[in-house]
Amino acid sequence: MRPLALVTLLLIPAPALAHPHVWIDTRFEVILNDRNEATALRIGWTYDDLYALLIFGDLSLDPDGDGILTAEEETRLNGFDMKWIEGFEGDTYVLMDGKPIAISGPRDWTASWRDGKLSSTHYRDILTPVAVGEVPLVIQAYDPGYYAAHVILPPAVVTGGTGCVAQVFEADLDAADAALQAALEEFAPGADVEGQFPAVGAKFSDEVRVTCGAP
């Protein structure tokens, strides 16, 4: 996971230090057909240690603390992060030429506890397959309210298609911090910043850009 620089933390007012609450290492696999149309995403999330501890407590997993889950516990773990409330976008956003591309809810999810890390995967279909060429297909990972912070880990994987590549671009954290600072300065003294935290998550988003040559 990519930590915030110390100077960033010193510049952000105290209420903002409550955000983010969860850190997630995110991986993307972009699936294309033989016409270089993007048809689906496979998304992997690996959670920070504190969040994993909270999930274990909620699900009463590993009561003996040996770090090993039984088959029954692994079954209970599967889908722990797939119970999405209405309106939740799954922290994944797909764009082409700046326009949003509709994607499905999650399917075929998994969850695992390996080497002391809590991870999950799921697929999301691109509802209308979109042709990818020189104009990149852009995939972003962020929580609008910045409760969770996603870091996209390279390499992004492309499966299928011809002459297609995916690159990971990191967010401009200096610009994101400046936007957060400006948003927080709009709150009156004593305002409930936590309850009305500004929707700055997109500013902190890394992104995957996929381009293809002629199929």
Summarised one tens digit per residue, pLDDT across range 124-146 is 999 999 999 999 999 999 999 88
Q: Token match 């499966």: residue?
A: 159
At residue 7 the predicted structure's pLDDT band, cuts being 50, 70 and 90, is very low
Residue, of 116 and 184, whose pLDDT is higher: 116
pLDDT score recorded for residue 194? 65
Question: Is residue 205 packed enough to be buried (19+ CB in 10 Å), middle (13-18) or exposed (0-12)?
Answer: buried
Could you give the CA distance from residue 55 to residue 72 in angstroms, rounded to a whole number?
Answer: 16
- Judge whether 88 lies within some domain: yes
- Judge whether 165 lies within some domain: yes
- Judge whether 198 lies within some domain: no
- Judge whether 90 lies within some domain: yes
Residue 39, φ and ψ in degrees, nearest 5: -115, -25
pTM, two decimal places: 0.86
- The sign of the torsion formed by the CA atoms of 107, 138, 168, 3 equals negative
Split into its structural domains, the chain has a count of: 1
Q: Token match 């020189």: residue?
A: 134
In tens, the pLDDT along 132-183 reads: 999 999 999 999 988 999 999 999 999 999 999 999 999 998 998 898 888 8
Q: Token match 């048809």: residue?
A: 39
- Judge whether 52 lies within some domain: yes
What is the span of the domain harbouring residue 61?
18-169+207-212
Cα 118 from chain centre: 15
- Judge whether 94 lies within some domain: yes
Could you give the CA distance from residue 98 to residue 82 in angstroms, rounded to a whole number?
Answer: 28
For the chain, the distance separating the N- and C-terminal CA atoms, rounded to the nearest angstrom, is 36
Q: What percent of the chain has pLDDT over 70?
A: 87
- Judge whether 92 lies within some domain: yes
pLDDT score recorded for residue 195? 66
- Judge whether 2 lies within some domain: no
In tens, the pLDDT along 11-53 reads: 334 344 456 999 999 999 999 999 999 999 999 999 999 999 9
